[in-house]
């Protein structure tokens, strides 16, 4: 995916620019959570960075206004999840929402789990759940599955940086894990495959996302708290700056004249301040903050995203 592809839609409402880091509750889809936040913020444009299933809770970064231009950088970021594998049944959806397709009386012990976990760290091949947002011939896999269409999911390469066994039921009925992973990793698939690797069947019983890129639970806000802020007309206190999503991107300080050129869509010459033979994305920072994202190659920096943050 091109990290500079545009996101978000124009809607009625006021111009609000920034991120709301929602601690999404159980039972809501990501789209429903997005709609509630957008309504509470009265924002004219909004989008979210990374879907969470209704049966999952935790970090759902929601971009408002100009922040929607930075969504892909958050979607591509490393994520951290806590999850529970419930042993005994493999489900159509690989979580509690589905129906059982395979069952087994086998319950693994800690030794069995630890012996297979190394197979799931690094670059691994993974088959997404049938009930997922993966596109198949232009349609979402979950729409096809719900319509009774037999869906063949293609294997994809994903990255898992760390997998930790936190605790488990003494009788082996369930085990809790934490995982640090890259873009496109399905925790439901990981749970299914862990259970298969020890010779049994299993599915996700609990799932909570603790981090997405620079955003974690320490900076998150719940819907009820956000609603209370809205009631007291302090809702903008929940906003994080647009550039928070770009913390890992190198910065280039630009002059007033260079800022004018960038706002007109014209390139600048970073010179020795940032010179690279390979193309690299750089954030241009003016005296008042974020100005643009530049594609720097050689001695030229071309604006690929220009931000209008004058309302803040």
* Set 23, 42, 44, 53: catalytic member: 53
Task: Give just the sign of the alpha carbon dihedral 106, 208, 2, 252.
Answer: negative
Residue carrying structure tokens 């082996």:
172
Residue 25: how many CA atoms within 13 Å on its side-chain side? 9
Contacts of 266 (CB under 8 A, 6+ apart): 303
8 Å CB contact between 25 and 57: yes
Residue 53 known to be catalytic: yes
> SS3 for the chain, per residue?
CCCCCCCCCCCCCECCCEEEEEEECCCCCHHHHHHHHHHHHCECCEEECCCCCCCCEEEEEEEEHHHHHHHHHHHCCCEEEEEEEEECEEECCCECCCCEEEECCCCCCHHHHHHHHHHHCEEEEECCCCCCCCEECCEEHHHHHHCCCCCCCCCEEEEEEEEEEEEECCCCCEEEEEEEECCCCCHHHHHHHHHHHCCCCEEEEEEEEEEECCEEHHHCECHHHHHHHHHCCCHHHHCECHHHHHCCCCEEECCHHHHHHHHCCCCECCHHHCCEEEEEEEEEEECCEEEEEEEEEECEEEEEEECCCCCC
Active site residues: 53
């Amino acid at each position: 995916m091109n990290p500079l592809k545009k996101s978000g839609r124009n809607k009625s409402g006021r111009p609000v620019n920034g991120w709301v880091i929602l601690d999404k509750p159980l039972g809501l889809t990501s789209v429903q959570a997005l709609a509630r936040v957008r309504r509470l913020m009265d924002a004219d444009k909004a989008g979210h960075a990374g879907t969470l299933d209704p049966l999952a809770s935790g970090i759902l970064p929601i971009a408002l206004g100009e922040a929607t231009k930075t969504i892909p950088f958050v979607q591509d970021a490393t994520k951290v999840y806590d999850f529970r594998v419930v042993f005994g049944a493999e489900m159509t959806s690989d979580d509690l929402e589905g129906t059982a397709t395979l069952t087994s009386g086998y319950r693994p012990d800690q030794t069995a789990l630890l012996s297979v976990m190394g197979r799931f760290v690094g670059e691994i091949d993974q088959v997404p759940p049938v009930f997922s947002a993966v596109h198949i011939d232009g349609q979402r896999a979950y729409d096809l599955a719900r319509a009774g269409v037999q869906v063949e999911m293609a294997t994809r390469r994903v990255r898992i940086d760390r997998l930790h066994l936190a605790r488990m039921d003494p009788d082996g009925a369930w085990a809790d894990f934490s995982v640090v992973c890259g873009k496109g990793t399905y925790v439901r698939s990981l749970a299914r495959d862990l259970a298969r690797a020890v010779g049994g069947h299993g599915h996700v019983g609990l799932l909570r996302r603790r981090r997405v890129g620079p955003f974690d639970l320490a900076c998150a806000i719940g819907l009820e708290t956000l609603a209370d802020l809205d009631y007291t007309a302090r809702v903008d206190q929940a906003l994080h700056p647009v550039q928070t999503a770009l913390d890992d991107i190198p910065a280039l300080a630009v002059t007033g004249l260079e800022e004018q050129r960038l706002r007109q869509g014209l390139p600048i010459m970073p010179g020795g301040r940032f010179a690279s033979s390979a193309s690299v994305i750089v954030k241009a920072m003016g005296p008042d903050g974020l100005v643009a994202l530049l594609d720097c190659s050689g001695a030229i920096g071309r604006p690929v995203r220009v931000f209008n943050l004058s309302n803040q």
